[in-house]
Copies of this chain bind each other. A is one copy, B any other.
Amino acid sequence: MYTLKNDSYLKALLRQPVTHTPVWMMRQAGRYLPEYKKIRSQAGDFMSLCRNPELACEVTLQPLRRFPLDAAILFSDILTIPDAMGLGLYFETGEGPRFQNPIRTHDDIKKIPIVDPVDELGYVMDAVSTIRKALQGDVPLIGFSGSPWTLATYMIEGGASKAFTKIKKMAFSDPRALHTLLDKLADAVTLYLNAQIEHGAQSVMIFDTWGGVLSESAYREFSLRYMHKIVSGLKREHDGYIVPVTLFTKGGGQWLEAMAETGCDALGLDWTTDLAQARARVGDRVALQGNMDPSMLYADQDTIVQEVNKILSRFGHGSGHVFNLGHGIHPDVDPEHARIFIEAVKEHSKSYHL
């Protein structure tokens, strides 16, 4: 598979034999690393870092220089698409992402332009090409996007939310308007991920951070339906190689069977779902990625190693598991604890692949 020195991540997603369980961490390029903070302060704000392909490449590679990770993930933000649609993304300290021009009316939705990812998000494509080249075939590069529902929550709420009042008002009182928006976003995400694949991403992941705030039927109608549409529209092969697709709905542990039906290759799991039960439920239809609580990295070495062993044993023998945290690594984690975690996975997983 490719001429990758380490293709364990791609093989595990396709449930092909591996010699250890591959491991990476959501937000592995991030604020818990002092070398990241240094580059981040050079770049200015967060989006300036995302928009600078050389610096984005540098921070993508930083965790790989420290730890024996099995994949790199594009350094970017899930909200680049709405930003390119003209909503004006900015970050307020301690407040998370916000939009200058959130969607208020049906008319705002009609006016949303179709975004050409190569023209409008050229900085992302440049980052993908730059990183892919810099990786020199060591490990695969993961591209990603937010899910249409998750993008829409930020676009309609204007930023992060607790109760998702505005988007739920629209979902339940004017569903047609929301479907118009979600459909545009599904098209935009499909184009965006396909462009990432063409520029060098060897696997893609869709982050549905907020699908879990819906009921099952609303999840199927407003989130899963559009991820399904994206999966159906993705280039699943590029340069003669399969490009595995992973769906991750945080809080989606109750809906794994439905998610597997989209035809994706793997599902991301947060830590609330037991991995043995998840594997029993999805069978060999998809691989599973996850699922240690990121807060476990606050624990001491013995506790971290014990938890790694517990999760490895819950998945059990054979391929089809990519080890990860159940959500992004916390910014105040000691990088040495991340090392303990990653090395424990690589060391202790071998016996599950004999």
A residues with a Cβ closer than 8 A to B are: 163-165, 168-169, 171-173, 212-219, 251, 253-254, 271-274, 277, 291, 293, 295-296, 298-300, 303, 310, 326, 330, 332
Contacts and interface: CB of A to CB of B under 8 A. Distances in A.
B310 A217 contact: yes
Classify the interface of chain A: helix, strand, loop or mixed: helix
A272 B254 contact: yes
A214 B251 CA distance: 11
B168 A214 contact: no
A269 to B, nearest CB: 11
A254 B251 contact: no
Given A217-B310, A253-B254, A169 B295 contact: yes
A254 B218 CA distance: 18
Contacts of A217: 310
B215 A164 contact: no
A219 B165 CA distance: 28
Given A165-B295, A173-B299, A215-B291, 19 more contacts: A163-B330, A165-B298, A165-B330, A168-B298, A169-B295, A169-B298, A172-B296, A172-B299, A173-B298, A173-B303, A214-B271, A215-B272, A215-B293, A215-B326, A216-B273, A216-B274, A254-B254, A254-B273, A254-B277
A221 to B, nearest CB: 12
B164 A295 contact: yes
